[in-house]
Amino acid sequence: MNNSGENKEENYNSIKYKQKFLKELLRKKNAILLAHNYQRDEIQEIADFQGDSLELSIKANKTDADIIVFCGVRFMAESAAIMNPEKTVILPNENAGCPMVDMITAQDIINLKKDYPDAPVVAYVNTSAECKAVSDICCTSANAVKVVNSLSSKRVIMVPDKNLGSYVQRFTDKEVINWPGYCPPHKRTTPEDIRVLKEKYPGAVFVAHPESSPETIDAADHVSSTSGMYKFVRESSAKFFIIGTERGIMYKMKKENPDKVFIPSNNGLVCPNMKKTHLDDVINSLAQMKNIIKIPEDVRIKARKSIENMLAL
């Protein structure tokens, strides 16, 4: 075996060793490992539960574990902590944030409410706990249309993702008032990317996330949350799929559909924050009980109401 072959084998063995060590640590501490669909392959591989933002919030609510190790980005771990004050929630890499979350503040929402007093605020889960605390109800990409249509007002404020807001506008008679936030990785896929790829792979089906731009959504054959994409791909008879979301999603897609071919819609569609969490971070944070999410109680109680309103649907 040459050097690079030996290195590969060494890396593989070290990943397997760390996974085994972590599994044992989780068991000893009565901890559960939750992973978002964009996480690194080696983390998805050993997660107790993997899912989209909505599924992960539901799972975090139902677990009997004492500790929730949340492999995702900060707002997701915060949602788990908001709902489970009696549990310890760990975000293994404390720098794993979401730029979209930082595109709006609680004060911005308070100002919007003054401008549109008749419109309830629907906060995408990709918001800080403080923003959730001043909103009326949360939503995820999987239930945004349902949440908006469940409200009795004639117009709604949707924050912070303008693309999710304009996607929802296609399925509701209500007026959607948008905030100009967006997801930088999803912004990178353009209709031109899809045109070029469809020419190269005739018959390929383009699957997009609602965080994509309206022009990219127009070019899509199917639009859904990340877990909705797994289901669509599983049930479709097509062979080639152009995947318009973070490439971490392709790990499970390939595993579940070995005969199908998955093509990234754009090589830049990688979320650097979702990739910040490594096995070492997970082991160290759990072993040392560090990077525990803490939310001021007054904020937590108000933010909880917005998440509960969503989960009640």
Q: Catalog residues that contact ligand 13P under the rule CB under 6 A.
A: 37, 52-54, 98, 126, 140-142, 183, 211, 225-226
165 binds ligand SF4 (CB under 6 A): no
Q: Rounded to the nearest whole angstrom, what is the least distance from the CB of residue 56 to ligand SF4 in the complex?
A: 12
DSSP annotation of 181: B
Q: Rounded to the nearest whole angstrom, what is the least distance from the CB of residue 211 to ligand 13P in the complex?
A: 6
Strands 31-36 and 49-51: parallel
Q: What is the CA radius of gyration of the chain?
A: 20
The rounded distance, in Å, linking the Cα atoms of 52 and 56 is 6
* Cβ(81)–Cβ(69) below 8 Å: no
Nearer to ligand 13P, 119 or 189 (CB): 189
DSSP symbols for 2-19:
-HHHHHHHHHHHHHHHHH
Cα end-to-end span (Å), the chain: 57
Q: Which does 99 bind (CB under 5 to 8 A by kind): ligand SF4, ligand 13P, none?
A: ligand SF4
Q: Rounded to the nearest whole angstrom, what is the least distance from the CB of residue 43 to ligand SF4 in the complex?
A: 15
Nearer to ligand 13P, 163 or 169 (CB): 163
Q: Rounded to the nearest whole angstrom, what is the least distance from the CB of residue 110 to ligand 13P in the complex?
A: 24
| Number of CB atoms found within 10 A of residue 278's CB | 16
145 binds ligand SF4 (CB under 6 A): no
Q: Which does 225 bind (CB under 5 to 8 A by kind): ligand SF4, ligand 13P, none?
A: ligand 13P
Contacts with ligand SF4 in 101-140 (CB under 6 A)? Answer: 126
The rounded distance, in Å, linking the Cα atoms of 300 and 277 is 25
* Cβ(44)–Cβ(36) below 8 Å: no
269 binds ligand SF4 (CB under 6 A): no
* Cβ(286)–Cβ(272) below 8 Å: no
Contacts with ligand SF4 in 50-109 (CB under 6 A)? Answer: 73, 98-100
The rounded distance, in Å, linking the Cα atoms of 26 and 95 is 22
In degrees, rounded to 5, the angle at the alpha carbon of residue 79 between the alpha carbons of residues 309 and 48 is: 115
Contacts with ligand SF4 in 19-48 (CB under 6 A)? Answer: none
- Long-range residue pairs from 215-218, CB within 8 A, at least 24 positions apart, any chain: 215/190, 215/191, 216/189, 216/190, 216/191, 216/244, 217/163, 217/167, 218/191
Binding residues for ligand SF4, rule CB under 6 A, total: 14
Nearer to ligand 13P, 193 or 211 (CB): 211
Q: Which does 191 bind (CB under 5 to 8 A by kind): ligand SF4, ligand 13P, none?
A: none
Nearer to ligand 13P, 52 or 130 (CB): 52
Instruction: Write out the residues near ligand SF4 by the rule CB under 6 A.
Output: 73, 98-100, 126, 183-186, 211, 246, 271, 273-274
